[in-house]
Amino acid sequence: MHGLCCSPCGKEGVEKDKMITIENVSGGTKGIQNYSLKIGSKLICTFDHNRDRGLVVCLKEAAAAVLEKEKKDKRSKSCKTLK
């Protein structure tokens, strides 16, 4: 069985540089915790999540955090272009 990849690899095993991981970096299990989302070893973003709200909510919050990061990066690049 394959791990979660950002593109179909068509190979046995997992391409570690493409694996998407969501990890609780706060270390707790109760209440709102801080999570990181990485592709391979590259940190994409962090977000807060309460695990009592479940996996579907966690994935939606992760997606929202990625979108926000992309928007922020675009704004930052356009500001640098204007300088």
Cα 68 to its chain centre, rounded Å, is: 11
- Cβ-Cβ contacts under 8 Å for 26 (sequence gap 6 or more): 33, 34, 35
**DSSP collapsed to 3 states, 12-53:** CCCCHHHEEEEEECCCCCCCEEEEEEEECCEEEEEEEEEHHH
The reported pTM is: 0.73
Q: What is the pLDDT along the chain (83 residues), one digit of tens a residue?
A: 234 444 455 555 667 778 999 999 999 999 999 999 999 999 999 999 999 999 999 999 999 999 999 999 998 887 766 55
